[in-house]
Amino acid sequence: MNSFNQLIEELKKLKFGLFAKDFLLTWEKTEDELKQTLLVAEALKYLRDHNISAKVFDSGLAISNFRDNSTRTRFSFASACNLLGLEVQDLDETKSQIAHGETVRETANMISFLTDVIGIRDDMFLGEGHTYMKEVGDALDDGFKHGVLPQRPGIVNLQCDIDHPTQSMADLMHLVNYYGGLENLKGKKIAMTWAYSPSYGKPLSVPQGIIGLMTRFGMEVDLAYPEGYTLIPEVVEMAGKQAAASGGKFRVVNSMNEAFKNADIVYPKSWAPFAVMQRRTDLLKKSDKDGLKSLEQECLANNARFKDWECTEEKMKLTKGGNALYMHCLPADISDVSCVAGEVAATVFERYRIETYKEAGYKPYIIAAMIFNNKFQNPAAMLEHLFRSGINRVAL
């Protein structure tokens, strides 16, 4: 009881600002709003861990719109909605009138008559995913304004071309629990590094999400990649400004070893170069299959030049005490397991496998918190009501 009461008291100290607001980019949110998300997620987890129902909806839809493949985020979204009492309906664009030219404005309204939240993953096209989410939001605003919709559904970004906020916030929640508090992250060094993968075209949103969030809390963030594997320049520039404002540090290096030196946390993850993603987007829009095949071969050959960018036992010895926390959004490319050569050595991954599973396990609560905060102007009061009601989630 004390831990739940403590969460609520900490929550009450914050300035709530997430009511009726979409959650698209972490850097659009204030520090209080990020803390609000973490605390509500912790409170929802407490309720479930103690067999107390968190159902705040008797009915209602949550629309799942995945324009790219997903395992963890898809099931995390479904779990989060179910936790709160919403039923999930997938929007399969191949089975809708979108294939016949239905506009975004029309689709957004037609799926939203009794909908409370729309979760969208759109990370395939650089410069398109975030824009699409904003377009859906504008369509919902229009529908609500003109009385078409009885309420304006909230939007949760389940990964776009710029940011992956449910992932980075779950990562942050993992770090808060691992180190015993948000305040304990200040001064900790995290190495967000590119790593070799035998595939190409992986989005930029995970590394951008990490540098865009961890620089908010006084951490020392190293972004490392081989020459040419740059991220969106504006995001990198913003990360530097955020680090300076929070009392942290941010630097870009072209050496995995340099980034790993004295790191408390390492996050080796492959991504495609910014310039490649721009070319890939143009080819995808043109449905240029031959061009895409040629680009893939070019990129795989370039990736192969950097097979030594692997999280190995030797590199882990460079970290603080030789035992930095290994993180990954999963699935990782594990050398000699899921591929011949990849992002991480099998022995390193196996040592931290359970921790990465725990890391992933925070995502349902983060998504549920984003939905909860969108729907309730005073989340602390609603959480207290759920706690006092004490309705068993599972009958005893």
Return the CATH number at 72.
3.40.50.1370
Q: Compute the distance between CA of residue 232 and CA of residue 250 in angstroms, rounded to an integer.
A: 16
With respect to residue 395, please indicate whether it lies within any of the assigned structural domains: no
Q: What b/e readout covers 277-286, taking b as 16+ CB neighbours within 10 angstroms?
A: bebbbebbee
Q: Compute the distance between CA of residue 368 and CA of residue 83 in angstroms, rounded to an integer.
A: 7
With respect to residue 396, please indicate whether it lies within any of the assigned structural domains: no
Do both 347 and 263 map to the same domain? yes
Do both 370 and 285 map to the same domain? no
Residue 101 has pLDDT above 80, yes or no: no
Q: Please give the tally of structural domains in the chain.
A: 2
pLDDT of residue 338: 96
Residue 96 has pLDDT above 80, yes or no: no
Do both 179 and 157 map to the same domain? no
Do both 327 and 373 map to the same domain? no
Do both 170 and 101 map to the same domain? no
Tokens for 171, please give them. 């990562």
Q: Could you tell me what percent of the chain has a pLDDT over 90?
A: 90
Q: Compute the distance between CA of residue 120 and CA of residue 64 in angstroms, rounded to an integer.
A: 6
Q: Compute the distance between CA of residue 351 and CA of residue 284 in angstroms, rounded to an integer.
A: 39
Q: Pick the closest to residue 369 from 139, 172, 215, 184 (CA basis).
A: 172
For residue 91, is it left (φ>0), alpha (ψ between -120 and 50) or beta? beta
Span 350-373, mean pLDDT?
A: 98
pLDDT of residue 87: 98
Residue 291 has pLDDT above 70, yes or no: yes
With respect to residue 349, please indicate whether it lies within any of the assigned structural domains: yes
Q: Pick the closest to residue 218 from 165, 175, 259 (CA basis).
A: 175
Q: Are 169 and 130 in contact (CB under 8 A)?
A: no
Write the DSSP symbol of residue 222.
Answer: E
Range of the domain at 181: 165-360
Determine the Cα angle at 84 with ends 80 and 86, to 5°: 85
Do both 111 and 35 map to the same domain? yes
With respect to residue 39, please indicate whether it lies within any of the assigned structural domains: yes
With respect to residue 328, please indicate whether it lies within any of the assigned structural domains: yes
Residue 56 has pLDDT above 70, yes or no: yes
- Give the full edge-to-edge strand order of the sheet including 154-160: 87-90, 61-66, 115-122, 154-160
Amino acid 268 reads P
Tokens for 191, please give them. 């190495």
Do both 88 and 196 map to the same domain? no
pLDDT digits (tens, 9 = 90+) for 125-146: 889 999 999 999 999 999 999 9
Q: Could you tell me what percent of the chain has a pLDDT over 70?
A: 99
Q: Compute the distance between CA of residue 140 and CA of residue 230 in angstroms, rounded to an integer.
A: 35
With respect to residue 333, please indicate whether it lies within any of the assigned structural domains: yes
Q: What are the CA-CA distances from residue 265 to residues 73, 224, 238, 328 (Å)? A: 23, 13, 21, 11
Other beta carbons less than 10 A from residue 44's beta carbon: 26
Q: Tally DSSP H helices, then E strands, for the chain.
A: 15, 9
pLDDT of residue 44: 98
pLDDT of residue 2: 61
Do both 9 and 158 map to the same domain? yes
pLDDT digits (tens, 9 = 90+) for 301-311: 999 999 999 99
Measured torsion, CA atoms of residues 132, 173, 354, 70, in degrees rounded to the nearest 10: -10
Overall pTM surpassing 0.75 (yes/no) = yes
With respect to residue 80, please indicate whether it lies within any of the assigned structural domains: yes
pLDDT of residue 124: 81
Do both 237 and 375 map to the same domain? no
Residue 123 has pLDDT above 60, yes or no: yes
Q: Are 275 and 250 in contact (CB under 8 A)?
A: no
pLDDT of residue 284: 84
Q: Are 271 and 202 in contact (CB under 8 A)?
A: yes
Non-local (6+) Cβ contacts of 321 within 8 A are none
pLDDT digits (tens, 9 = 90+) for 173-229: 999 999 999 999 999 999 999 999 999 879 999 999 999 999 999 999 999 999 999
With respect to residue 261, please indicate whether it lies within any of the assigned structural domains: yes
Confidence band (pLDDT; 50, 70, 90) for 94?
A: confident
Do both 103 and 170 map to the same domain? no
Do both 8 and 21 map to the same domain? yes
pLDDT of residue 312: 98
Do both 112 and 174 map to the same domain? no
* Segment 10-14 long-range contacts (CB within 8 Å, at least 24 positions apart): 10/35, 10/39, 11/36, 11/39, 11/40, 11/43, 11/379, 11/380, 11/383, 12/380, 14/39
Mean pLDDT computed over every residue of the chain: 96
Span 351-369, mean pLDDT?
A: 98
Span 44-61, mean pLDDT?
A: 98
Distance of CA 56 to the CA centre of its chain: 24
pLDDT digits (tens, 9 = 90+) for 252-274: 999 999 999 999 999 999 999 99
pLDDT of residue 100: 67
